[in-house]
Amino acid sequence: MRVLSVSGTNVTASFTNFFPDGRIAPNFWIDVFSGQRYNSTSTFFFAITPGLQVHDPVFNTWGNVTIVAQNTLGCGGYNRQAVGAQFLLLSGGTGFTIRLAWDMTTGALCGYSYGPDSQGRTLGLSMLNTTLWGPGATRALDPFTVGAEVSAFLGLPLLAVIMFVYFRGTRRKRRGSSTSGPPARSYADQRFGLSNQPV
């Protein structure tokens, strides 16, 4: 989520999604006071008023959806105080449970769950990393990523050294197989006499 603008109680954010069909989600907006939003049928409340407590309505004009819990949970790579709500959405004779959790201090969405649908599937969303309350959080190291980075770091210099040694060795072999040979070898088996005469 990237917050694009805040005007009064209206928050506009952009979500970049990588759907298989190449579609990118549009910008979303929500009024954190009234609950008005980009799509009146959507349950994706990505922001609420900061500082809500248990039993407070999620939005000022709503009395039926309230904060039901407050707890510490992992949000954006940090343990944060969060508040949550849960409600049932009836659609086409079927009920879907919606669960949401927001950071208590900022009102930013930490987690979202929608479902299960008629086939038992549930849609879930969690904030893994953010710069809202500190520098980007670091996640646990992925061993495959570390392996790729280490092999790239060590592999290229190692390849250069191997190629240097190989080509240096082949140059020596070519030089050693010539007919005249290096100067030290040409005179190795010959005797020379030196005369000690004044000049």
pLDDT digits (tens, 9 = 90+) for 126-158: 888 777 776 654 555 556 556 666 666 666 677
54/58 Cα distance (integer angstroms):
10
Handedness of CA 26, 31, 32, 34 (dihedral sign): negative
Q: For 84, how many CA atoms within 13 A lie in the half-sphere containing its CB?
A: 18
pLDDT digits (tens, 9 = 90+) for 13-52: 877 654 555 555 567 889 999 989 888 888 888 899 999 9
State the Cα angle at 174 between 168 and 180, rounded to 5°: 130
Tell me the pTM. 0.60
CB of 122 within 8 A of CB of 114?
yes
Say how far apart CA 130 and CA 18 lie, in whole Å. 18
Mean pLDDT across 60-77: 87
E strand or H helix at 160, and its extent?
Answer: helix 143-176
Per-residue model confidence (pLDDT) at position 72: 93
Is the pLDDT at 54 greater than 80, yes or no? yes
Is the sign of the CA dihedral 136, 139, 143, 145 positive or negative?
Answer: negative
Asked whether the beta carbons of 67 and 56 are under 8 A apart, the reply is: yes
The whole-number pLDDT of residue 84 equals 94
Read off the tokens for 7.
């005007």
For residue 32, which of 46, 13, 53, 42 has the smallest C-alpha distance?
Answer: 46
